[in-house]
Amino acid sequence: MKKLIVLVMAFVSVFLLADNQLANLRGDTPLDAEAEPPKMQAVENNDLKRERAYPQQAPTIPHDISGYQVDLNFNRCLACHSRKKADEAQAPMVSITHYMNREGQFLVDVSPRRFFCTQCHVTQQEVNPLIENTFVDMDTLVKGEE
Ligand code: HEC
Ligand code: HEC
């Protein structure tokens, strides 16, 4: 009897879910079908800083990075963004936080925690968001409360 109730509940919840779909990247494509991927857009390459959505945000990358090697042997990003190369490349030096270990002590070089740049820094594309985003900027939030 218990098993039957569980089964009925499972069916009901499937119907409820089907009726009230959560937004997802598949859109209306059924589970057993392959969705048509959106066309690849060119990566933003205008050298212009974007506004950060909040103070701690890792700045987005305003230039193309295709083909840049970042692995155990070499870090192409540091060839321009390290302290030693920033003047030559006229690139902003990596943030001082990138030299800190987890105890907050400064190291002579970029900390291993900050080595794989694209874990946090990403390029941008001019596309419509695949899923509606309800993010509200802090200033807008504070204004709303006043
Ligand atoms: C050939 C030199 C060069 C290389 C290689 C390079 N950058 Fe840059 N980067 C720059 C310069 C110069 C700027 C300043 C804006 C501009 O001119 O694009 C910049 C800007 C940035 C910014 C914006 C900083 C801010 O304050 O808004 C980020 C983030 C960044 N780069 C990340 C990266 C990452 C991650 C890589 C490796 C995948 C990388 N860069 C590789 C030269 C370089
Ligand atoms: C774990 C996340 C993380 C990784 C990995 C990381 N960054 Fe950052 N980066 C940030 C954040 C967050 C900020 C902004 C806050 C700050 O300054 O720490 C930032 C700031 C920067 C800035 C702006 C500095 C300035 O003064 O305007 C540059 C340039 C940058 N990072 C480049 C890099 C490069 C190059 C690498 C790889 C060697 C890298 N970052 C790896 C999170 C990261």
Q: Does a structural domain hold residue 25?
A: no
State the number of CA atoms in the 13 A half-sphere of 99 facing the CB.
11
pLDDT at res. 109: 93
Residue 11 lies in a domain: no
- Average pLDDT of the residues in 113-138: 91
pTM: 0.84
How many whole angstroms separate alpha carbon 144 and alpha carbon 142? 5
Question: What CATH number did the domain enclosing 85 receive?
Answer: 1.10.1130.10
Is residue 63 domain-resident? yes
- Whole-angstrom Cα distance, residue 91 to residue 76? 13
What pLDDT score was predicted for residue 7?
A: 61
Question: Is 3 among the domain residues?
Answer: no
User: Is 77 inside a domain boundary?
Assistant: yes
Boundaries of domain holding 73: 52-126
Distance from Cα 21 to the centre of ligand 1, integer Å: 40
The answer to whether the annotation marks 88 as part of a ligand binding site is no
Give 105-114 contacts, CB < 8 A, sequence gap 24+: 110/78, 110/82
59 lines ligand 1 (CB under 6 A): yes
SS3 for 16-84 is HHHHCCCCCCCCCCCCCCCCCCCCCCCCCCCCCCCCCCCCCCCCCECCCCCCCCECCCCECCHHHHCCC
Residue 139 falls inside a structural domain: no
Considering its fold, how many domains does the chain have in total?
1
Task: Say if residue 47's pLDDT is above 90.
Answer: yes
Question: Would you state the pLDDT for residue 8?
Answer: 59
Would you state the pLDDT for residue 4?
65
- pLDDT, one tens digit per residue, over 81-97 is 999 999 999 999 999 99
Q: Which atom of ligand 1 is nearest to the CA of 90?
A: 12
